[in-house]
A and B are shown apart, each in its own frame.
Chain A
Amino acid sequence: MAARFGQYLSRRVLALAVLAARPDRSAALLSAATPLRRHTTMSADSADPIFQYVVLRRDLQEKVGWPLGSLVAQGCHASVAAIAKHLDDDDVRAYIALDAVDGMHKAVLEVKGETQLLNLARQLEQSGVAHALWVEQPEAIATALASKPARKSHTVLRASARSTSRDDEPGASAEGGSVRAALRGAVDALRAAGVPEPDASAEFLLAHVLGSQSRGILATHGLEPLAPAHRAEFGRMVAERLARKPVQLIIGEWSFLELTLRVRAPVLVPRPETEELVELALARCAAFSAPPHVDAGCGPAPPVHVLDVGCGTGAIGLAVLARVPHARCTAIDVAEEAVSLARQNARALGLDARYESILLPIERLAPSAADAQADGRAVSGGAPAALYDVLLSNPPYIPEADMPSLEPEVAAWEDKRALCGGREGLDVIIAILERAPALLRARGCEVWLEVDPTHPPLIRAWLGDRPHVRLEFVESIRDFNGHERFCRLRVT
């Protein structure tokens, strides 16, 4: 189809009128020329001709500096897509019929930028106007839009585009439009762009805009009008999602067990599997249950010192602290952003009295008898003492070979150091296992790891080859998807 149209473009001159939003800035994009018609059109056609509207983004040329050819290409893509998507339509068939194609009518409009283009797409969706939104890949930016060819009398695109271009507030619209309609427009735009989880993405974003952490609010408020400020904010967020930015990073926070954590690129966004790691460790690890004398009311529980290796947002350590009042946590990470984000989260949750995060790789967390202190707290030299009661970790565990196939949400937004565990994905895990017996206080203290499903047998084998390492493999546990995800080990 594209080639065929290309032939027509080079051989026929199409009638194009540029209707600029502001007459004083008429674009010199395309020259108007009279159409060459091979064939007399029917009287119905001349009275109510079939038009296709193509909408281009002014900023791509003026601000982003795209050459004219690229801009034209976007318009052509959109035009072709709008036709291809509706080949069954009577108007479309009439538009591209061999005896009418020489007399095609198009009107080219402009909008200020991507936000306006997306707003327009949404308005068309609400008004039920068939169209195609062109999203250029792999950049995932919306560049042009074209209507399905239709009788001129049936199209409201012109008015919508002009009113959109005239808006000063990005995304503000004089038209109303319900929450549900805005959602539908966003879902369609996301789906058209190939963004995964288009429904869930749009729903969580819109729910957040409306002040809720739950998508359920959309069902109860679906028919209410969406305020212009909310519409604008939602539009901005959808544009970010079109760039494959994860929903959690767009919103800036997410839930982990019963906590709300701030999240920030490039720190790894906590995964649901890690929630399971914490729950399993809390349920099964003896270190977390209060000793009998506490249950009997005979005194406070002695503190439990947790070491969180690779803390990221602080999820693991903070979730434990929230549930275990007598726990303390030392968290380490190699990324400055993670260490400060974890500290920020601890403060926000009121847990900072029992939480410390330190910029330190596990290799430098060597225990030193001279530095060891009775309560196991960090010494000011930055090399914390040993004497932890339990070690929990979600270390980077992705094998190198898997890294190239990661989806953009992960590859483009999250710290590789939080993901890649070397050739087999075991590098950091092995570093932890080598040091755990020295870092943990006594025999029976446990190590809980989230790992790649290939790892449990490899870890068993690694331990089997090294009887001098004072660790035994207790069990591996499957996650909710049935993958062998969690390893539990114990100091011998």
Chain B
Amino acid sequence: MIRLGLLLLPGCVALCAGARRCTPTLRVALRPPRVRALACAPVQPAGERAHAQAPARAPHPATLPLDELLRDVQVERTRRSGPGGQHRNKVESAVVVLHVPSGVRAEASERRSQHDNRDVAIGRLRLRLALDVRIAPPDPDAPPSALWRARRTAAGKLVVSEKHPDFPALVAEALDAIGARAHDVRGAAEALGVSTSQLVKLLAAAQPALQRVNEARARTGLPPLKAN
């Protein structure tokens, strides 16, 4: 498995940090050095020429539909002592889910059934993935995703509740766009077709996203952004 350099924000996890744990079907895209690429995008078979048609923008794991995301997710086995099953009646049913390619984990234990806790954990995993995994879009000037366009109004507002299942995907897209522009949030907002304040509002709703962006900006001498 070839490991490529990835665009990383501090605190982020390289998508293929656990490359040896990638499932066999994951393939790697080869790219000219100027543009950094997602390590787990569809690949051209070895025999084809490098200038073959460029694959479409590789999806961020937080944006994947559930059945595709689940292919890369393992529910971690809790090692509980004792026989379990009919022998025991426990109310605690914590679930930990692991996104194997990136090593990102999330957990939930507040619901009554293991099934419900798994649902909550996967939701949390999506958001963690949005925050911790960065992919570099092959073409920074490509238009925003269909989801993004569906969620933005003509006036440049972004309409989404942080509880909505679409929220992590939007956060991922926003952070990827910002990351690709060396944390120029205004430039990213422009490319995404929303106002800067709306973009900042989205980041603030997905703390610690705003905090991380500001930290990165501070490192490059840019002033911090504040949410209203």
Contact = CB atoms under 8 A, between A and B. Distances in A.
B84 A481 contact: yes
B150 to A, nearest CB: 28
Interface in A100-120: none
A185 B171 CA distance: 40
B154 interface: no
B78 A397 contact: no
A275 B115 contact: yes
Interface residues on A, range: 35 or more
A126 interface: no
A192 to B, nearest CB: 19
Given A200-B91, A409-B89, A483 B113 contact: no
A246 interface: yes
A200 B112 contact: no
B51 interface: no
B87 to A, nearest CB: 6
B89 A272 contact: no
Interface in B56-105: 75, 77-80, 83-93
Nearest to A478: B77
B197 interface: no
Nearest to A407: B88
Given A481-B77, A483-B83, A258 B89 contact: no
Contacts of A272: 93, 113-114
Contacts, number: 97
Given A273-B85, A410-B88, A453-B83, A256 B113 contact: yes
A467 B112 CA distance: 43
B86 A197 contact: no
Given A414-B89, A483-B84, A215 B77 contact: no
Contacts of A22: none
A268 interface: yes
Interface residues of B, number: 24
Contacts of B215: none
A24 B180 CA distance: 82
Query: Secondary structure of the A side of the interface?
Result: loop
Contact of B87 (A247, A276, A398, A479): A398
A410 B110 contact: no
A257 B80 CA distance: 21
Interface string B128-160: 000000000000000000000000000000000
Contacts of A473: none
B63 to A, nearest CB: 25
Contact of A410 (B77, B79, B87, B112): B87
A61 interface: no
A340 interface: no
Given A272-B114, A273-B84, A273-B85, A480 B75 contact: yes
B85 A452 contact: yes
B166 interface: no
24 contacts: A196-B90, A201-B91, A246-B91, A248-B91, A255-B113, A257-B113, A258-B115, A271-B84, A271-B86, A275-B113, A276-B114, A396-B86, A407-B88, A407-B89, A410-B87, A418-B86, A453-B83, A479-B84, A480-B75, A480-B77, A481-B77, A481-B80, A482-B79, A483-B83
Given A248-B89, A269-B89, 19 more contacts: A197-B92, A200-B91, A258-B115, A258-B116, A271-B84, A271-B86, A272-B93, A276-B114, A394-B86, A406-B87, A409-B89, A414-B89, A453-B85, A479-B85, A480-B75, A480-B114, A481-B77, A481-B78, A485-B85
Interface of A: 196-197, 200-201, 204, 213-216, 246-248, 254-258, 268-269, 271-273, 275-276, 279, 394, 396-398, 402, 406-407, 409-410, 414, 418-419, 450, 452-453, 479-483, 485
The 10 residue pairs across chains A and B that have the minimum distance between CB atoms: A255-B113, A255-B112, A215-B110, A272-B114, A216-B110, A200-B92, A257-B115, A247-B91, A409-B89, A214-B110
Interface of B: 75, 77-80, 83-93, 109-116
